[in-house]
Structure 1
Amino acid sequence: MKQYLIAPSILSADFARLGEDTAKALAAGADVVHFDVMDNHYVPNLTIGPMVLKSLRNYGITAPIDVHLMVKPVDRIVPDFAAAGASIITFHPEASEHVDRTLQLIKENGCKAGLVFNPATPLSYLDYVMDKLDVILLMSVNPGFGGQSFIPQTLDKLREVRRRIDESGFDIRLEV
């Protein structure tokens, strides 16, 4: 496994040329496509869904696609994104009624599973599910909009998550 992966978000792409822009990012060295999904309920913005993901796969994008769900409820939409071609599905623990069950659902649908932590979300969720995680994503801004300033306290949270991963012995990728 590579020590570092580059995973640009396609949210800033030209959606009229999404397949082409995604292919260009991958050709320039990106390893993973980060696919931000917002529902205008969990966060105050609305973005893309499973049909757009399926279109990227149909265009010929074969790289792993990391679907970051900023939606509520989570469980209803997991199978749709898995069927559309997601490789990894991450979600915010406070958006799920049963975090353990949602992680299991993601894996049952053939994807790697992860949790996403907002700057103010406590890491205590990790106490119960480290053995089920493939990815932990730390947000360095509040979710919902691009172009925000980095929140410096994220660095302390990053160190704490790195420590927890190392002590757990599990193979969990840390994403920021």
Structure 2
Amino acid sequence: MNALAPSILSADFAALGEAVKLVEHAGAPYIHVDVMDGHFVPNITIGAPVAAALRKHINGIMDVHLMIENPDAYLEDFKAAGADILTVHYESTKHIHRTLQAIRKLGMKSGLALNPGTPVEVLECLIDEVDMVLIMSVNPGFGGQSFIPYALEKVKQVKALGERTGRDLLIQVDGGVGLQNVQEVVNAGANVIVAGSAVFGAQDVSATVQEFMKLMNE
């Protein structure tokens, strides 16, 4: 079953616990937590202490996306905060293979994010250490951006790589996905969809989550 991962980046930061409960009750199995440091991306969001506080309100999967420099220094912090999946960017560290191994050694699923300008070919030597591939369909750093169409081709390439190597990958897409294009993204091979403003910016958040899940699994 394909899964929706609402991004709290677009939620009311003064009421994150309520936001999480709302989308989980509506059927979203993942909660996507964007961590930004103002260096790797031009925005600052939250750190491990807020993630730990949020974990108390999450019954499903806490999916933490590190958009930060030197992610290795914070892996243990986010493990302690309760992350189930920890995603780092290929572009954020010189020794990505070691970072992915360290995430798994801590008992979390390892995610690898690729920026729009990073080709799928970089996965060839890393695929055995990756549980989830995150295709960025916008340039990371801000919510509410428009979907980059070439991301669909990258999703297809990741799906083909997983099939060729016998890996049952989670393939996540983040950025510019809404009700109008989510089926196209899923048809390309994605099975976990991140949606921020499309969910939390909707007039009826619960109904929007349910419509996403319906469209993704038709």
Partners of 1:104 and 1:62 in 2: how far apart?
Answer: 26
Partners of 2:143 and 2:9 in 1: how far apart?
Answer: 8
Higher relative contact order (CA 8 A, sep 6+): 2
Partners of 1:57 and 1:142 in 2: how far apart?
Answer: 27
Residue type of the alignment partner of 1:84: A
**What's the TM-score once normalised by structure 1's chain length?**
0.95
Residue type of the alignment partner of 1:33: I
Structure 1 unmatched ranges of 5 or more: none
- The answer on 1:39 being equivalent to 2:52 is no
Structure-to-structure mapping, 1:16-55, within 5 angstroms: 16-55=14-53
Partners of 1:131 and 1:175 in 2: how far apart?
Answer: 17
Tell me, yes or no, if the aligned pair for 2:91 and 2:114 is still in contact at 8 Å: no
Q: Percent identity?
A: 50
Find the partner of 2:135 among 129, 133, 138. 138
Displacement of 1:57: 2.0
Structure-to-structure mapping, 1:24-173, within 5 angstroms: 24-58=22-56, 60-173=57-170
Q: Which runs of 4+ in 1 moved over 2 A?
A: none
Q: How many residues align?
A: 173
Q: Deviations over 1:56-77 (max 9, x none)?
A: 123x322111110100011001
SS of aligned partner of 1:53: helix
Match of 2:209 in 1: none
Tell me, yes or no, if the aligned pair for 2:55 and 2:62 is still in contact at 8 Å: no
**What's the TM-score once normalised by structure 2's chain length?**
0.77
Displacement of 1:132: 1.1
Displacement of 1:135: 0.3
Displacement of 1:127: 1.0
Residue type of the alignment partner of 1:129: L
